[in-house]
Amino acid sequence: MTSILSENKTNENRSADYVDNFFKEHKIGQILAKSNFNKQKGFPCKELLQFLVTLVFLGKNLYRYLDINTGTAPFQKDTVYRFLNDCHYNWRKFLLFLSSQIIRSRIVPLTDEKRVNVFIIDDSLFSRSRSKSVELLARVFDHVERKYDRGFRMLTLGWSDGNTFLPLAFSLLSSAKKSNRLCGMDESSIDKRTNGYQLRKEAIRKSTDVLLDLLKDARAYMVPASYILFDSWFAFPAVIRKIREQKLHTICMLKSMPTVYYDYQGQKLTLNKLYATVRKKRGRAKILASVTVGIGQLEDGEQVSAKIVFVRDRRTKKKWLALLTTDTELPDDEVVRIYGKRWSIEVFFKMSKSYLKLAKEFQGRSYDSMVASTAIVFIRYIMLSLESRNGEDMRTIGQLFYICCDELHDISLVEALQKLLSLLEQFLNEELQLAEDEIRRLMDYFIDNLPSFFKDRLAVCYCES
């Protein structure tokens, strides 16, 4: 038993040292001071934040940690919740400052100038399904379960270069419809001049309006990006035009809506009618067609053109998907490749909910406490994302590797399939203990049934290995 306790204590110390080094290296104390984090009484904000960030790496929640360390814990429960409930702290400014600093000083210098960096925006359910009296609690639609649930829509803006994803900012949206809000705003206990009150007012605005504000804030911090990626939930011509007014190009998925029209050869067509009108490529081409359309004009009267690329749906060969970009000079295959970077935000949502305790660690009832707990989860992900980058890109170690090594590049689909093929072969050999001839026969059968585009390339790579 003594050795087990000693090992656990060693792991705890290692986690605490890692978080401490991160806070020192990135000067978190200075960023907190610039973001209006001022100690009212008791412990400094930096110590409280560092303690809360470390908790998940110890495998304990706040209650469990304080229960085990009764009398020796650095903080009491009231101290922690007083920190989480403070409405004066500017968590958005803190996250933007931290992420933009890491991007500009640690990631961009290690990438080529031609590399495509992107903003990614999406929303996910912030569930509080068992709560009844949480401030601004609302009925929100869960697109995964296809049903309404109690909670918030966590609208998130992130940045990616194709390898590393960093969250920049977020907004916990309640509902713009008063009928969908189960609890109102506690206006009696909050100063309307504070940052907390401004976030509450933002929470009852439309998501498309908040999206534009988040994007404007990120650009104010000089975060480098050429495109913004999002799915069909935000793909409205009015939103795309407003993004274009911020001198940023869009790449997004489209869905056919009967009230959304595109200007093509003097006609206003829905997406379905537009697809029926354009000429499609024959054969088994991945990209079926592309066409340039008009989506309205800016406030100064300038017409906005966009390219729509129709792609074969890999799930159902008879169906198609449509991608839109306002960069009409971008090649069709580049539109598809760049949009593939949007998947990194889905990985971020999964990681945050499954491993970093999003919406599960603290059960506060105030809106400020939920914003604070969400920001803490984002800080944890930033730490892990940066550590993953340091482990993969050897040039982060020193100038020697920067000179001798190539930059990390976007993984191609063929490379991804090749890696999956190697893992499958390893599994058949080690776990199922099949003979080499049987493994070779199974792999040949798998490759022979792939489309010819992949089959020729994978066959060469597999034979060489």
pLDDT band at 173 (very low <50, low <70, confident <90, very high): very high
Name the more confident of 418 and 178.
178
DSSP string, 357-406: -TTTS----SHHHHHHHHHHHHHHHHHHHHHHHHHH-GGGS-HHHHHHSP
d(CA 124, CA 170) in angstroms, rounded, equals 11
Measured from the Cβ of residue 396, the count of other Cβ atoms closer than 10 Å reads 16
Task: Name beta bridge partners: 414.
Answer: none
- pLDDT, position 1: 38
- pLDDT, position 62: 82
d(CA 152, CA 434) in angstroms, rounded, equals 50
- pLDDT, position 412: 59
d(CA 308, CA 262) in angstroms, rounded, equals 10
- pLDDT, position 393: 62
CA distances in angstroms from 37 to 1, 112, 335, 369, 397, listed in the order given: 42, 36, 42, 15, 33
pLDDT band at 395 (very low <50, low <70, confident <90, very high): low
Mean pLDDT across the chain: 86
Mean pLDDT of the region 437-454: 72
* Statement: residue 463 has pLDDT above 70: no
* Statement: residue 447 has pLDDT above 60: yes
* Statement: residue 458 has pLDDT above 70: no
Pair of tokens at residue 69: 């360390």
Pair of tokens at residue 397: 């170690």
- pLDDT, position 4: 42
* Statement: residue 340 has pLDDT above 60: yes
Closest CA to 360 of 131, 96, 172: 131
Mean pLDDT of the region 25-45: 92
Q: Containing H/E element for 264?
A: strand 262-264
- pLDDT, position 409: 56
Name the more confident of 6 and 206.
206
Under 8 Å between Cβ of 421 and 464: no
d(CA 379, CA 373) in angstroms, rounded, equals 10
pLDDT band at 401 (very low <50, low <70, confident <90, very high): very low
- pLDDT, position 464: 46
Report the first-to-last Cα separation within the chain, whole angstroms.
47
* Statement: residue 235 has pLDDT above 90: yes
* Statement: residue 462 has pLDDT above 70: no
Indicate left, alpha or beta for 259 from its phi (over 0: left) and psi (-120 to 50: alpha). alpha
Which tens digits make up the pLDDT trace of 45-70? Answer: 999 999 999 999 888 888 777 777 77
Name the more confident of 428 and 204.
204
Under 8 Å between Cβ of 327 and 305: no
41-55, 390-404, 445-459: least confident range: 390-404
- pLDDT, position 16: 86
* Statement: residue 423 has pLDDT above 90: no
154-168, 397-411, 427-441: least confident range: 397-411
Which tens digits make up the pLDDT trace of 351-382? Answer: 999 999 998 888 889 999 999 999 999 999 99
d(CA 423, CA 432) in angstroms, rounded, equals 13
Q: Where are the domains of the chain?
A: 2-84, 91-396, 413-464
pLDDT band at 91 (very low <50, low <70, confident <90, very high): very high
d(CA 313, CA 321) in angstroms, rounded, equals 6
| Neighbour-count burial of 243, counting CB atoms closer than 10 A to its CB (0-12 exposed, 13-18 middle, 19+ buried) | buried
pLDDT band at 451 (very low <50, low <70, confident <90, very high): low
DSSP string, 435-458: -HHHHHHHHHHHHHTS-HHHHHHH
- pLDDT, position 330: 96
* Statement: residue 344 has pLDDT above 90: yes
Query: pLDDT exceeding 90 applies to what percent of the chain?
Result: 60
51-65, 83-97, 202-216, 451-465: least confident range: 451-465
d(CA 335, CA 333) in angstroms, rounded, equals 5
pLDDT band at 457 (very low <50, low <70, confident <90, very high): low
69-83, 279-293, 299-313: least confident range: 69-83
Q: What CATH code is assigned to 91-396?
A: 3.90.350.10
